[in-house]
Each structure stands twice: as C-alpha cells, then as structure tokens.
Structure 1
Amino acid sequence: MKPHTTTTTLALLLFLLMASSSLQVSMAGSKFCDGKCAVRCSKASRHDDCLKYCGICCADCNCVPSGTAGNKDECPCYRDMTTGKGDRKRPKCP
C-alpha cells in the first residue's frame, strides 16, 4: 500500500469513528430525563411508549412529575402538553 493511500484510509476511518460517536450522543436522552422517566414509567404497562413520550416531554419542559403516576401539578408544562387538536386532543405526557 502506498503511504498516501494509508494516510487517506486512516483519515477516513478516524472521520467515520468521530461521526458515529457524535451521532450516538445526539440521539441519547439527557441523564436527568432518562433517570426521571425510568422512575415515572417503571410501572407502566406500555413501558417503551411511556419512556418515549416522557423523554419528549421532559426534553421540552425540563421536568418530570415525581412518582409513577399523578403529581402533574408539579410540572405544568408537562401536564398541559397534548397531542392532536379538536376532538382528538389527548394528554401527551405519561
């Protein structure tokens, strides 16, 4: 292999490694939200859905009510977030 080809290959591999690690970081939730939502959704029958929506709500509101249900007055932003409009409007956050 020529020295130029080896350098180019190494540079490309380094770039791909850096790009993949930054993608993982950007897709991961925050430690705060992940921890709070794990508690909030620990007893949910649809655990994956609960974690998904709790994470979305936490990221927008920067808070999650304590406990596994209720207590939504602790976080009005979380409490008031809804999906849809009109007759199909439902609470978004678990």
Structure 2
Amino acid sequence: MAKFVCAFLLILAMAFVIQVTHAGGEGSLRPEQCSGECNRRCSQTMYKNRCLEFCNLCCAKCLCVPSGFYGHKEECPCYNNWKTNGGKPKCP
C-alpha cells in the first residue's frame, strides 16, 4: 500500500511539473497581460507597429502569446489557427 501511495504522489508531482512547464499555453493570460507579452514578442521585428496591432488582437481573443520572438505557435492553437480571409496566418 505504501508503494502505491508513493507512486501516486510521484505521478501527481510530475503532472504538476508538466503543467507549470507548459504555462503560457492557450488561455493562460489575463487580458491586461497581453500588452506586455506582445511587446516582448514583437520587440525584434522591423514591423513592430503592425506586429503589435495583430498580436494584441490575437491575444485578446486567445489569451495566449507564444514564447520567443518568432514561431512556437503550436503552444497556442487559437493563435496559430486564426487566418486572414486570404488564408494566411493572422497572428504574428
């Protein structure tokens, strides 16, 4: 029985670590955090104003901004899958 309890606690701890590691996923932000996260995401682009405009729009809808300055969109499916009328990615 003690082994079962130890195994259960270990699994529970691992699940918590995995959840914390993947923080930043879809729905993880509050609306007031979007501006700061978009400033971070768009800080290295030469099209900063346009990036910020669309990033903030996407964040307001998805409550998520992918990590890094480019890519990693798989972290936020809503952010990744939102397309323009022409079928191109809407979110930077």
TM-score range, shorter chain: 0.5 to 0.7
Shift, 1:45, TM fit = 1.2
Distance 1:47 1:31 in 2: 20
* Number of the residue aligned with 1:89: 87
State the percentage of identical aligned residues. 48
Q: Bigger radius of gyration, 1 or 2? A: 1
The structure with the greater share of residues assigned to strand is 1
Within 5 A, what are the aligned runs for 1:1-94?
30-84=31-85, 88-94=86-92
Structure ranking higher on relative contact order (CA contacts 8 Å, 6+ apart): 2
The structure with the greater share of residues assigned to helix is 1
> What secondary structure is seen at the aligned counterpart in 2 of 1:89?
coil
> What is the total number of aligned residue pairs between the two structures?
62
Q: Which runs of 5+ in 1 are unaligned?
A: 1-29
Letter in 1 for 2:80: R
Distance 1:31 1:41 in 2: 17
Q: Which runs of 5+ in 2 are unaligned?
A: 1-30
